[in-house]
């Protein structure tokens, strides 16, 4: 996996955290330096931890499914991407959604887990693709940290107009990366 592909994957994965950070930024009446830092650490940390856990699970089963690993990677990334697109296009969810202004450990823990579940599945695909896991999860964590911190500021200063666009973009990127993996394995792309 090239650095550009890893960057696009990291951005795609970070879009859920960015969207939640935008929502958190909307809920805060006065931004303090703690808010972007807190969101970045929670979301970036879990976005790095979950693919590592997925990778550990994936390497346990790698030998059993080597012949179909490219299909698994494609299906997982396509499902995650399609779900992100569905959420971005859902009008009902945006109208009903509200975000509390708490940055406490309990609230942030739940949000960090919820926004990083898809990264667990990506970690499984990393095992099949023989990705160097240390640099990959570090890079994903850093990208998510930055985008989450920026999301707090965007939400506070610009409102919610970027939230669904971010989820839509992230979903499209994940589907395209999954398609590229499949087409390369099938010999269609060099």
Cα 129 to Cα 123: distance, rounded to the nearest angstrom: 10
pLDDT (tens digit per residue) in 56-110: 998 887 777 767 777 877 887 788 778 878 877 885 444 445 566 789 998 899 8
Whole-angstrom Cα distance, residue 104 to residue 173?
A: 31
Helix ranges (H only) for 28-132 are 34-61, 69-89, 91-96, 105-129
Residue 7 CA to residue 111 CA, distance in Å, equals 23
Whole-number Å distance between alpha carbons of 53 and 121: 9
Tell me the per-residue pLDDT of 136-170, one tens digit each, with 9 for 90 and over.
999 999 999 999 999 999 888 876 666 677 778 87
Contact 62, 159 (CB under 8 A): no
Report the chain's mean pLDDT, rounded to a whole number. Answer: 84
| Angle, CA 18 vertex, CA 57 and CA 175 arms, to 5° | 55
Q: Which residue has the higher pLDDT, 159 or 51?
A: 51
Q: Is residue 187 within a helix (H) or strand (E), and if so which, with residue range?
A: none
pLDDT band, very low/low/confident/very high, at 50 (cuts 50, 70, 90): very high
The Cα–Cα gap between 102 and 123 comes to 29
Instruction: Give the residue among 16, 21, 159 at the shortest CA–CA distance from 88.
Output: 16
Torsion of CA 109, 113, 115, 119, to 10 degrees: 140
Domain assignments of the chain as residue spans, ordered by start: 3-185
pLDDT for res 84: 76
pTM (2 d.p.): 0.76
């Amino acid at each position: 996996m090239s650095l550009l592909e890893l960057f696009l994957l990291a951005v795609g994965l970070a879009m859920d955290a960015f969207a939640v950070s935008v929502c958190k930024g909307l809920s805060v009446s006065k931004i303090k330096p703690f808010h972007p830092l807190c969101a970045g650490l929670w979301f970036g940390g879990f976005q790095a931890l979950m693919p590592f856990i997925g990778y550990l699970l994936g390497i346990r089963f790698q030998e059993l499914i080597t012949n179909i690993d490219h299909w698994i990677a494609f299906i997982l990334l396509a499902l995650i991407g399609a779900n992100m697109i569905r959420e971005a296009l859902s009008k009902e969810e945006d109208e009903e959604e509200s975000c509390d202004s708490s940055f406490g450990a309990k609230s942030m823990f739940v949000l960090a887990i919820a926004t990083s579940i898809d990264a667990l599945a990506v970690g499984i695909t990393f095992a099949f693709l023989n990705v160097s896991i240390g640099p990959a999860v570090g890079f994903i964590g850093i990208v998510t940290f930055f985008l989450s911190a920026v999301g707090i500021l965007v939400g506070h200063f610009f409102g919610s107009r970027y939230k669904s666009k971010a989820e839509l973009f992230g979903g499209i990127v994940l589907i395209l990366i999954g398609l590229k993996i499949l087409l390369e394995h099938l010999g269609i792309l060099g």
